[in-house]
Amino acid sequence: MSDVKSKTLDAVIVGSGMAGMYMLHRLRKQGLNVLAVEAGTGVGGAWYWNRYPGCRCDVPSIEYSFSFSKELEQEWDWTEAMVSQPELERYLNHVADRFDLRKDIQFGTRVTSANYDESSARWTVTTDQGDVFDTNYCVMATGCLTIPNYPDINNADAFQGEVYHTATWPKEEVDFTGKRVAVIGCGSSGVQTIPIIAEKAEQLIAFQRSPVYTFPARNAPMKPEFLAQAKKDYPEIRAKQRNCASGIAGYTGPAKAEGEVEKPKSSRKILGLTAEQRQAELEEFGMGAIPNYVDAFFNEDANAIVRDMFDQSLKAIVKDPQKADALSPKDYPLHCKRPVIDTNYYEAFNKDSVSIVDLRESAIEELTATGLRTSDGSEYEFDILVYATGFDAMTGGLTAIDIRGIGGESIKEKWADGPTAYLGLQVSGFPNLFTITGPGSPSILSNVIVSIEYHCEWIDQTIQYLRDNDIKAMEAKQSAADAWADHVNEAAQGTMYVAPTCNSWYLGSNIDGKKRMFMPYLGGVDKYDQKCKDVIAKGYEGFALSR
Minimum separation from the CB atom of position 176 to ligand N01 (A): 19
Site map (CB under 6 A) of ligand N01, residues 158-197, x = contact: --------x-----------------xxxxxxx-x-----
| Beta strands at 433-435 and 131-140: parallel, antiparallel or unpaired | parallel
Please identify the residue of the shown chain whose CB is closest to the bound ligand N01.
Answer: 187
**Complex with ligand N01: residue 186 or 411, whichever CB lies closer:** 186
Sign for the CA dihedral angle at 485, 491, 493, 495 comes to negative
By CB under 6 A, what part of segment 118-157 binds ligand N01? 145, 151
The DSSP code sequence of 140-153 is E---SS-SB-----
**Complex with ligand N01: residue 185 or 542, whichever CB lies closer:** 185
Kindly indicate which of the ranges 241-249, 382-390, 401-409, 478-486 contains the residues binding ligand N01, using the contact rule CB under 6 A.
382-390
d(CA 82, CA 509): 29
By CB under 6 A, what part of segment 284-303 binds ligand N01? none
The DSSP code sequence of 385-452 is EEE---B-TTTHHHHTSEEE-GGG-BHHHHTTT----BTTTB-TT-TTEEETT-TTSSGGGS-HHHHH
**Complex with ligand N01: residue 187 or 405, whichever CB lies closer:** 187
- Of 110, 138, 127, 132, which is closest to residue 8 (Cα–Cα)? 132
Residue 394 Ramachandran class (φ > 0 left, ψ -120 to 50 alpha, else beta): left
Minimum separation from the CB atom of position 50 to ligand N01 (A): 6
d(CA 191, CA 147): 19
Kindly indicate which of the ranges 55-63, 95-103, 313-321, 537-545 contains the residues binding ligand N01, using the contact rule CB under 6 A.
55-63
Out of 39, 201, 444, 511, which residue is the one contacting ligand N01 (CB under 6 A)? 444
**Complex with ligand N01: residue 18 or 459, whichever CB lies closer:** 18
The DSSP code sequence of 251-317 is ---SSPPTTPPPPPP-SB-STTS-HHHHHHHHHHHGGGGGGGBGGGGT-HHHHHHHHHHHHHHHHHH
Q: Does 389 bind ligand N01 (CB under 6 A)?
A: yes
Minimum separation from the CB atom of position 374 to ligand N01 (A): 11
- Of 182, 313, 247, 264, which is closest to residue 528 (Cα–Cα)? 247
d(CA 415, CA 422): 13
Q: Give the count of beta carbons closer than 10 Å to the beta carbon of residue 344.
A: 17
Minimum separation from the CB atom of position 461 to ligand N01 (A): 28
Out of 138, 182, 388, 452, which residue is the one contacting ligand N01 (CB under 6 A)? 388
**Complex with ligand N01: residue 106 or 510, whichever CB lies closer:** 510
Q: Does 96 bind ligand N01 (CB under 6 A)?
A: no
Sign for the CA dihedral angle at 201, 205, 210, 211 comes to positive
Out of 510, 525, 526, 543, which residue is the one contacting ligand N01 (CB under 6 A)? 510
**Complex with ligand N01: residue 392 or 529, whichever CB lies closer:** 392
Q: Does 364 bind ligand N01 (CB under 6 A)?
A: yes
Minimum separation from the CB atom of position 388 to ligand N01 (A): 6
Minimum separation from the CB atom of position 213 to ligand N01 (A): 12
d(CA 433, CA 413): 17
Q: Does 471 bind ligand N01 (CB under 6 A)?
A: no
Q: Does 435 bind ligand N01 (CB under 6 A)?
A: no
Residues 6+ apart with CB under 8 A from 428: 420, 422, 475, 476, 477, 478, 480, 481
* Binding footprint of ligand N01, residue count (CB under 6 A): 26
Q: Would you say 436 and 459 are in contact if contact means Cβ atoms under 8 Å apart?
A: yes
Minimum separation from the CB atom of position 143 to ligand N01 (A): 10
Q: Helix-strand-coil percent breakdown of the chain, rounded to 5? A: 35, 20, 45
Kindly indicate which of the ranges 52-60, 70-78, 253-261, 278-286 contains the residues binding ligand N01, using the contact rule CB under 6 A.
52-60
By CB under 6 A, what part of segment 197-226 binds ligand N01? 209-210
By CB under 6 A, what part of segment 224-253 binds ligand N01? none
Site map (CB under 6 A) of ligand N01, residues 321-360, x = contact: -----------------x--------------------x-
Q: Which residues here bind ligand N01, judged by CB under 6 A?
A: 56-58, 145, 151, 166, 184-190, 192, 209-210, 338, 359, 364, 388-391, 444, 505, 510
